[in-house]
A and B are shown apart, each in its own frame.
Chain A
Amino acid sequence: MSQGIVYNIQRMSTKDGPGIRTTVFLKGCPLRCLWCSNPESQQTNPQLLFFSSLCTGCGLCLSVCPHHAVGMQAGISTHNAALCQHCGACAAQCPSHAREISGKSMSVDEVMAVVKKDALFYENSGGGVTFGGGEPTAGGQFFLDLVAASLDEGFHVTVDTCGQSSAKIFDKALELADVFLFDCKHMDAEQHAKLTGHDNSLILRNMQAALSSGKEVRIRMPLIPHMNDDEENIAAMAAFFHTFDRHEIEVMPYHAFGLSKYTALGKAQPDIYSYSPEALHAVLALFTKHGLSPIIV
């Protein structure tokens, strides 16, 4: 049976598809979006997160770290990224949950055991299971096995994807899952590469396949100030989606909620600011101007 790395299974998920859902977050993503709100999801392997603000300075981590990656300074523990092997020994001891390992190797059965717990909630609410990430399709066979196992249980399946996925895996997912939450980040290949690390050729191929498949596809756009909110890009998106007779677009304005996770990973926080209400209003007007109906999610 296939195994994969899961970094969170969130029950009572209400924002990732219809009804009450369980969202399974798979770790690993081919993109490196500058604004990523789940930076711990990018690498496939488990990683240590250290939230220094929650540290009580008890020193348990210091005593158990086999790699000498923990120190003490000014009454709280410190984290040496160069030495840390992400083994999780400190996280297992940490009483205040300041240290946490993100990512756990799980089998399909183990994931499904959690997913199945809320079956009655799905049935009563028209919900189901959502696979997100990271990029869930990057999970390969593990991902496809999870989708198949969910369908076997009669669960509604949503896939939250960036679209950067091999055609083979993606087309298989398209055949199986019920709903796709499909990100669209930038229409220009060069800009796309600059913002995410990859051009958008594969994404557009998969987007076309999805929009032509007859499956429910919700187009979602992370809206990032000065990165993809210019009129030229919005006009290009409108032109592209209009060819599929699509006019609605779910917009996710940039939020800073993920910043503390950058610090916890020992990474620099991205230098992006949230929209003021006026600025957001002005950008949304551009969507309308070009014949798209933006829905904020």
Chain B
Amino acid sequence: MPTLPFTSATAPAAQGYSIDWSTAEQRVTELKDFLMNAPQVMDPERLRCLLDVYEEFAGEPVYYIRAKLFERVLLTKKIFLDGNPIVGTLTGIRAGVNPYPEWNVSWIKEEMQMAKMASLGEMKIPQETEELLMQVYKKWKNRTCIALNNKMYKDKYGVNPAQYSKAGLYYDNVSVASGSGIADYPMALNKGLRAVVDDLKQRLLDCPTTLENKEKHDLYRAMIVATEAVIAHSHRYAELAEKTAAGETDPKAKAELLEIAEICRRVPEFPARNFREAIQSFWFIHLAIEVEQMACATSPGRYGQYMYPFYKKDIEEGKLTKEQVLTLLKFQWIKHMELGEYQGGSYAMTLSGHTGQTITIGGIDAFGRDASTELEELLLETQICMRGIQPTLTLLYHPKMKTSYLNKVVECIRGGSGQPQILNNTVVIERNLARFAQYKDGITLEDARNCGNYGCVSTGICGKGSFITQEDQPCLAKVVELLLNNGKCPVTRKNVGIETGDPCSFNTFEEVYEAYKKQLKNLFTISRHHSDLSQMARVQVVPSIFRSVMYDGCIDKGMCEEAGGTRYPQVNPIMTAGIDAANALLAIKHLVFDTKQLTMAQLLEALAANFEGYEDIRQLCYNAPKHGNDYPDVEGFVQRFYRDIDELHSSVGPDCFGYRTPLDAYSLSYHNYFGSLMGALPTGRKAGVALTDGSVSAMPGTDHEGVTALIKSGAEAIDTVRYGANHFNVKFLPSALEGAQGARNLISLIKTYCDFGGSHIQFNCVSSATLQEAQHNPAEYKDLVVRVAGFSAYFTRLDKGVQNEIIKRTEYAQ
């Protein structure tokens, strides 16, 4: 790891930049307070642009219209300065949110009067925005991605697919705008956008004007418009800063403004020359991608590595101190937190407002060496200071990491934010090699190593790859419900599954299991058919233009990102609630077939009644063997289950790019959303209650054998190389991680999890609020162990007074 022989004690306060450092930390605090307290507001401006541009440019190719819309937003939105030396906001309002109705407008009609939650809490829709939304609704209701997707499905398969998403089989993936991974930020920092525009102009000129080249031609024209717009957008800020400086009397503030102006004249049009310019250039690029399509999973990738040369230069030249870098990073964190999104109530529920701006740290470089940097340690420090919800950090863990670096990671985890989450670098690289080996041009080892975290827990190649969310996130727990109701959804009373027979007629568990697989294959087939068409709808209605400029491969191929223009495009079929399904099947096996404590009829009766009046049966179900305890039979079944799902999924055929696609087993907050649409389950879970989070986490309260058993079970549940992701949350009482020994233990847990082949793990320190909840609901928290030397006990079995004492200690530790 490159480090610098530098401490703040030996270097004088650097005066390389005209930022008024004396007020900077105070400004950070005020900006954060504003964000945490002010409601987010839905800005009308993008809606106006949308209505105008589609009218003015009717008849132009969709690429061109999309570029013009992007340009109109960037050049007409109100801009302002708010004391943050890094400039550029999403909308014309502080903490403003843009609507993206081109994907879906149904929420406008159905949910307008409901309370709305965005990333920072409540969101307000002003009268003006509401009126524009109604206009847009009328114009767009038959033209949105999801409307087109469903129409195409009906035309092709003769069935209205809306019944499937309504029943909670899956979630319509083109009903929302979406991020797509990691753009080529270093290209913009090091080459500048002017060079990109020049290249695009040359390509347009060189492109033979044959009909075959029509798409390419249209795309280049549009890309030039979009890239010029991003440059012009930064110039608007330069002018604003100059104008504001003219009226500023405080010399320090004036100098800072003039410097902002100078920087905005320079970047992102031209290469950044130092850290200050690089941070602003980064932000303009990131913001522009988000303006085009503000949604989850526009991830900055290996920020601490591509920004490192700028950092190193400024530190060595004495232009910045580490403390000043930390302050600048805090300002950047504020910018990430400002970005909000709202796309309807169900989306808020599935994502909890998460914007997925994930920064990847650690990993290895092209030559296999530890790639972590000193700047990344400052990112961890920033995260500790800011306790922010965005950006999030992901560590690509590998065995060559320095202990001091890992200790910083542990310090951050212990801070209670659960960050960074950990990804197993070895698994991610193997996965890349396996996934892209089947592609026409294969993959280089260097690219496979240049991996990063896309959004939540998915992975791909930095700058050269992107993902599309596909397959509509099928809910595996719902399939159990269909199986137990012979294909009928008990909630909507619609026959959305296939008939697999009266469950009471099954004589062995294997018959149950075969029926489950039939139901699941049916669901995979529907969701594949539906989502392949959804991708056609995406390309037709909302192709990304600037995003395509920023992902390597699209310009070369002359193909937008959605159509597979990047060098390594990938499909991410997210699949949720696997553990609920496996646990439910295990409970049926145990109670109905192995121990015969219940008949299938008794179980069905209790489920139909949502266990009301059947608490004894619910307890039997809840106490039946569950994943997460390292019991060989149970985990053997869970592993078989996930293997079979993967096989079934592959048997449905290739994805829309023509390849076998690995399943992404993770939950986002879909466990919450799908849970609300489901009846009772044989796991002992009641109707409407959230399903299990992650894809290999234990159902809450059902892991009794301690963290090591849980970690081993979680790591081995899924073949993480064959799959595109796993997702694992582990809770800890902070006392378990105290001191230097606690840090070593945590690192050992991470290492062992990776040794067992796990891909993703996130540690959450149990908060005092959770403990209070455990006090009130002991049955749901039976697994919380209190660790004291020579003593053994579970939290819920302690006297209330003692519990209170531990709650107080936990508060203290946090």
Contacts and interface: CB of A to CB of B under 8 A. Distances in A.
A220 B788 CA distance: 13
B772 interface: no
Nearest to A11: B706
Nearest to A8: B792
Interface string A72-108: 0000000000000000000000011100000000000
A124 B793 contact: no
B782 interface: yes
Interface string A19-53: 11011010000000000011000000000000101
A14 B779 CA distance: 25
Given A58-B615, A117-B630, A16 B789 contact: yes
Contacts of B706: 10-12
B793 A20 contact: no
Contacts of A213: none
Given A121-B752, A125-B744, A160 B616 contact: no
A266 interface: no
A78 to B, nearest CB: 18
B797 A37 contact: no
Interface residues of B, number: 44
Contacts of A25: 792
Contacts, number: 125
Given A252-B789, A255-B788, A257-B793, A120 B619 contact: no
A28 B706 CA distance: 24
B616 A256 contact: no
Nearest to B742: A14
A160 B790 contact: yes
B708 interface: yes
B799 A125 contact: no
Contacts of B722: none
Interface residues of A, number: 50
Interface in A163-204: 181
B616 A95 contact: yes
Interface string B703-734: 00111110010000000000000000000000
Contacts of A252: 789-790
B319 interface: no
B27 interface: no
A258 B792 CA distance: 9
B746 to A, nearest CB: 9
A58 B744 CA distance: 45
B801 interface: yes
Contacts of B805: 256, 274
Contacts of A15: 787-790
B633 to A, nearest CB: 14
Nearest to B618: A95
B802 interface: yes
Given A14-B741, A256-B801, A95 B623 contact: yes
Contacts of A247: none
A145 interface: no
A23 B790 CA distance: 9
B755 interface: yes
Contacts of A37: 788, 790-791
B539 interface: no
Interface in A122-136: 124-127, 132
A252 B789 CA distance: 8
B748 A121 contact: yes
A77 to B, nearest CB: 15
Given A124-B755, A125-B748, A252-B790, A96 B707 contact: no
Given A11-B709, A14-B745, A120-B756, A132 B790 contact: yes
Nearest to A259: B799
B94 to A, nearest CB: 45
A272 interface: no
B443 interface: no
Interface string A267-282: 0000000100000000
A11 B801 CA distance: 26
Contact of B792 (A18, A38, A60): A38
A96 B779 contact: yes
Interface in B777-814: 778-779, 782, 785-793, 796-802, 805
B620 interface: yes
A297 interface: yes
A261 interface: yes
A54 interface: yes
A126 B785 CA distance: 22
A293 interface: no
Nearest to B748: A125
A150 interface: no
B797 A260 contact: yes
Contact of A97 (B709, B741, B755, B782): B782
B736 interface: yes
B749 interface: yes
Contacts of A233: none
Contacts of A297: 789
Nearest to B779: A96
A248 interface: no
Contacts of B779: 54, 96
Nearest to B737: A14
Contacts of B620: 95
B558 to A, nearest CB: 50
Contacts of B791: 37-38, 255, 257-258
B751 interface: yes
A13 interface: yes
A104 to B, nearest CB: 14
B701 to A, nearest CB: 11
A208 B802 CA distance: 37
A126 B748 CA distance: 9
A20 B801 contact: no
A22 B620 CA distance: 29
A256 B708 contact: no
Interface in A238-272: 250, 252, 255-261, 263-264
Contacts of A13: 787
Q: Which of B787, B789, B797 has the most CB of A within 10 A?
A: B789
Interface in B151-186: none
Q: Which of A8, A117, A181, A297 has the most CB of B within 10 A?
A: A117
Interface in A1-17: 8, 10-16
B745 A120 contact: no
Contact of B752 (A51, A124, A255, A257): A124
A221 to B, nearest CB: 11
Nearest to A269: B799
B14 to A, nearest CB: 41
Q: Which of A22, A255, A297 has the most CB of B within 10 A?
A: A255
A250 B782 CA distance: 31
Given A124-B751, A124-B752, A18 B741 contact: yes
Nearest to B794: A97
B785 A10 contact: yes
A257 B755 contact: no
Q: Which of B620, B786, B792, B801 has the most CB of A within 10 A?
A: B792
A257 B709 CA distance: 25
A56 B313 CA distance: 67
A10 B792 CA distance: 8
B24 to A, nearest CB: 38
Contacts of B616: 58, 60, 95
A23 to B, nearest CB: 7
Given A38-B790, A56-B615, A121-B752, 14 more contacts: A12-B708, A14-B736, A14-B787, A15-B788, A19-B745, A23-B792, A37-B791, A95-B619, A121-B749, A124-B748, A252-B789, A255-B788, A256-B805, A260-B798
* The 10 nearest A-B residue pairs measured at CB: A95-B619, A125-B748, A11-B706, A12-B706, A12-B707, A15-B789, A124-B748, A12-B708, A260-B799, A11-B708
19 contacts: A12-B707, A12-B708, A14-B741, A95-B622, A95-B623, A96-B779, A118-B708, A118-B709, A120-B755, A124-B748, A125-B744, A125-B745, A125-B749, A181-B790, A257-B798, A257-B802, A260-B797, A261-B797, A297-B789
